[in-house]
Structure 1
Amino acid sequence: MQQMPFSRRNFIQKLGATALVIPSLTTLSGLQGCGSKSSESSAESASSTTTNSGSERKLGIALVGLGKYSEGELAPALEKTTFCRLAGIVTGTPDKAETWKKKYDIPDKNVYNYKTFDKIADNPDIDIVYVVLPNSMHAEYVIRAAQAGKHVICEKPMALTSDECQKMIDACKKANKKLSVGYRLHFEPHNQEMMRLGQKEVFGKVNKIIAQNAQKQENDTPWRLGGGVGGGGPLRDVGIYCLQGAIYTKGQVPIAVTAKYHPITDPKKFAKVEEGVDFQLHFADGTVAECRTSYNDQYNKLRAEAAKGWFELDPAYQYDGLKGQTSQGKMNIENVPQQARQMDAFAECVLNDKPTTVPGEMGMRDVQLIEAIFQAAKTGTKVSTKAVQQILDPVASR
């Protein structure tokens, strides 16, 4: 994700810090929709050759932000999709625009910068806008995309605050456009199996969850360390996978959280973001998820311990190479192109006018929980999350 020009950076920095108060919201639960079914996996659904309506039209996707994730994952994934294609790009770097135009045969009329972005409203080639910008810029560009009449995918975390999330949801509803969050692991078979085993209590009631995700973060993307446009930090960036994994394995939203920041070992590097944080998700039935995230370590695991056995993924959240096993043996599940499945599932939702299973409301739920975790770490107290949206991850059966 590239850095914006100096003037834009200064503007974005004025957006403010994350709020620590969780607003009371309307309760939602058990949302079912396109891309996930109780009787077949969303990955299988997304790989079908026709939509329910029989349409074979490929929807055009414009990537907003041509950083590492767009370059290394999303653009290559779009070459593997069935229902969508790379149709346009938005970048503030002219040289990068030229490279992408040649590599992916993108016409000049489908290339935008951040000043001309709103003209995308007049382009029928583009049906979906995928916002892949630094976290602090998500809200602005999701809202502008909706106002331009485009369906939207927003990378995680959805925004910096739950208030921003609500504005994004409202903008898409007002424009009658669909909004999805880039939760690729909902379309990944190993993680779908964790959903099934946990939510269906295949090994009995889940009593404990261990969710860990960390990486050694260097300054190659300064915003992740709070530089430039800001809005980074390991909890929002990689810890959100632990949050998601615990919830979709348990099939419940926690009623409270506790948390503690890791000691700072490099004051210069971690001057603007936390180095790491341990946090616990407390569920209504007494189950506790022990979660851990860091920008100065390496681990990648999701484990559930149940009354009659255990099941885990290690690694659990990577783009490829996921491995799973249970107390009865290896899972033996094939790795799939996660981002292709994710984008195809959303394209099917648009083509068939069905709700996505990873909607903005789910993204807001997670931002609310992140706000609560920050509050718990700051105050050293147990923070209630009963006011958080109760939208749940649907069971995926293989």
Structure 2
Amino acid sequence: MSSNEQSNSSGSQTRRNILKVAGTAGLAFGGRLAAQDIPPNHLAPRPAPQSIRPLPEGRRTFGYAIIGLGKYAVNQIIPAFAECKHARLAGLVSGDRQKAERIAAAYDVPTKNIYSYDNFDDIKNNPDIDAVYIILPNSLHADIAERAFKAGKHVMCEKPMATSVEDAQRMVDASRRANKQLMIGYRCHFDPITQRTIELIRAGHIGKPRVITTENTDALSVEDPSGQWRVRRALSGGGSLMDLGIYGVNASRYLLNEDPIEVTAVIAPSSNPIFSEVEDIISWTFRYKSGALAHGNSSFSTAATSRFGIQGEKLTAVMDPATGYYNNTFKASGGDEVHVLQDPMFQIPALNQFSAQLDHLPEILASGAPSKATGLEGLQDVKLIQAIYRAAALRRPVSTDWGDWRKI
């Protein structure tokens, strides 16, 4: 098979995978459309001219193509380009041409920069596009990332970066071969409250952290097409841990500035047929060399929660919400001391995390500075998630003491 035939075959298979599993989900949940409907009158609008992040003089030169036009892409990521200093929306990749054309018209994207999964490899010939941002179901990340690297593009990929350690490593290897950046969409790394919380902990204001608790839950609706693939293992790779718990897995690492050496875990049984393939409620505990512990839990069947607790030797702190799109809050207390960090909603710098994440890639490429969200960090989280699943299956502790992931 020629390289062109292999490329076309790969594109067709990717598209078939999306349609096949999504179609199955639609039949399983009352025959509703599994492919997301084209929004009739509520495409995410152009943001107001007074943007949150001040735009620079002149043209922003770093172009992204967004791969996958679901709710997160349309309602959060695409509008955030108006707040970017360096990045701009340059292309769209979708299996739904009509929907892509409507979004392109709303955001002045040339129709020549719209791609399907079948002709995606032609993106290599488009100088308008410097990077792709993959916002697809988890199991599709690795294949499309490899194709993007072969096309000579940098890659930003939503978390979790893959559904297996092997696929995550494959993405890292493809990035190295292409000499292109692989960045994972850890938007919380760019949230000002999270950044300031980390600074306070590193500076010793709460004392040495001893216990971390992370809670990330939400009531998943399979009536919503965006919820259907999340309960299909072939697309998601797992349940609430993959979708929500990853926030806690990653946060325990950046709050403690340490990686765990051991994990125990338990999955609560569910009689709900929706969770026949993936877990609903899961809880885990990380143990660290420093003696600290991190307890985490996630759920698809409880009210929305995004809360982190940090128990230090001097103060106890709570982030609630901890991983929201805006209005995250940090509060530390102990004795008569109370310290509160909060950014008012819709005011500088409350909405910086999306645009700052998009700008980070061109910034590090220009400066040579290290990335805040590398593929290696994404690989570490995938390894820890798989260790959690293994600990739950074995019902015993599993070692996660495999050395410094930065040196892999």
Aligned residues: 353
Correspondent of 1:284 among 286, 289, 292: 289
- CA deviation after TM superposition for structure 1 residue 232, in Å: 4.4
**1:169 alignment partner in structure 2:** 172
Structure 1 residue 82 corresponds to structure 2 residue 85: yes
Q: Quote the Cα distance in structure 1 between the aligned partners of 2:19 and 2:69.
A: 17
Query: Contact 1:156 / 1:182 at 8 angstroms: preserved in 2?
Result: yes
Which residue identity is paired with 2:296? Answer: C
Q: Any idea what SS the aligned residue of 1:79 has? A: helix
Query: Contact 2:236 / 2:242 at 8 angstroms: preserved in 1?
Result: no
- CA deviation after TM superposition for structure 1 residue 208, in Å: 0.7
| Residue pairs, 1:90-169, within 5 angstroms | 90-169=93-172
Identity %: 35
**2:4 alignment partner in structure 1:** none
Correspondent of 1:213 among 205, 212, 216: 216
Which residue identity is paired with 1:223? Answer: W
Change beyond 3 A, Cα 1:188–1:235: same
Query: Contact 1:190 / 1:324 at 8 angstroms: preserved in 2?
Result: yes
Query: Contact 2:172 / 2:376 at 8 angstroms: preserved in 1?
Result: yes
Q: Quote the Cα distance in structure 2 between the aligned partners of 1:363 and 1:48.
A: 30
Structure 1 residue 355 corresponds to structure 2 residue 365: no
Change beyond 3 A, Cα 1:175–1:250: same
Q: Quote the Cα distance in structure 1 between the aligned partners of 2:236 and 2:287.
A: 30
Correspondent of 2:400 among 367, 385, 391: 385
- CA deviation after TM superposition for structure 1 residue 233, in Å: 1.2
Q: Quote the Cα distance in structure 2 between the aligned partners of 1:364 and 1:242.
A: 15
Taking structure 2 as the reference length, the TM-score comes to 0.82
Structure 1 residue 245 corresponds to structure 2 residue 251: yes
| Residue pairs, 1:8-87, within 5 angstroms | 8-10=18-20, 57-87=60-90
Q: Any idea what SS the aligned residue of 1:229 has? A: helix
Q: Quote the Cα distance in structure 1 between the aligned partners of 2:288 and 2:54.
A: 36
Q: Deviations over 1:304-323 (max 9, x none)?
A: 00111112210111111212
**1:331 alignment partner in structure 2:** 341
Larger radius of gyration: 2
Where structure 1 has 5 or more consecutive residues not aligned to the other structure, the ranges are 14-45, 393-398
**2:347 alignment partner in structure 1:** none
Q: Any idea what SS the aligned residue of 2:264 has? A: strand
Structure with greater proportional helix content: 2
Which residue identity is paired with 1:111? Answer: I
- CA deviation after TM superposition for structure 1 residue 8, in Å: 4.8
Q: Quote the Cα distance in structure 2 between the aligned partners of 1:254 and 1:189.
A: 25
Q: Quote the Cα distance in structure 2 between the aligned partners of 1:185 and 1:108.
A: 32
- CA deviation after TM superposition for structure 1 residue 338, in Å: 1.3
Give the CA RMSD over aligned residues. 2.4
Q: Deviations over 1:141-181 (max 9, x none)?
A: 11111110001100000101111111111111111111100
Q: Deviations over 1:234-274 (max 9, x none)?
A: 101110000111111110000111100023141x1101110
**1:187 alignment partner in structure 2:** 190
Q: Quote the Cα distance in structure 1 between the aligned partners of 2:83 and 2:193.
A: 20
Q: Any idea what SS the aligned residue of 2:384 has? A: helix
Moved more, 118-127 or 213-222: 213-222
Q: Quote the Cα distance in structure 1 between the aligned partners of 2:163 and 2:246.
A: 12
Structure 1 residue 375 corresponds to structure 2 residue 378: no
Query: Contact 1:181 / 1:363 at 8 angstroms: preserved in 2?
Result: yes
Q: Quote the Cα distance in structure 1 between the aligned partners of 2:104 and 2:206.
A: 51
Query: Contact 1:238 / 1:293 at 8 angstroms: preserved in 2?
Result: yes
Which residue identity is paired with 1:323? Answer: T
- CA deviation after TM superposition for structure 1 residue 79, in Å: 1.4
Q: Any idea what SS the aligned residue of 2:217 has? A: strand
Query: Contact 2:212 / 2:293 at 8 angstroms: preserved in 1?
Result: yes
Q: Quote the Cα distance in structure 2 between the aligned partners of 1:7 and 1:374.
A: 25
**1:40 alignment partner in structure 2:** none
- CA deviation after TM superposition for structure 1 residue 109, in Å: 1.2
**1:226 alignment partner in structure 2:** 232
**2:49 alignment partner in structure 1:** none
Query: Contact 2:15 / 2:117 at 8 angstroms: preserved in 1?
Result: no
Q: Quote the Cα distance in structure 1 between the aligned partners of 2:114 and 2:326.
A: 30
**1:37 alignment partner in structure 2:** none
Structure 1 residue 308 corresponds to structure 2 residue 314: yes
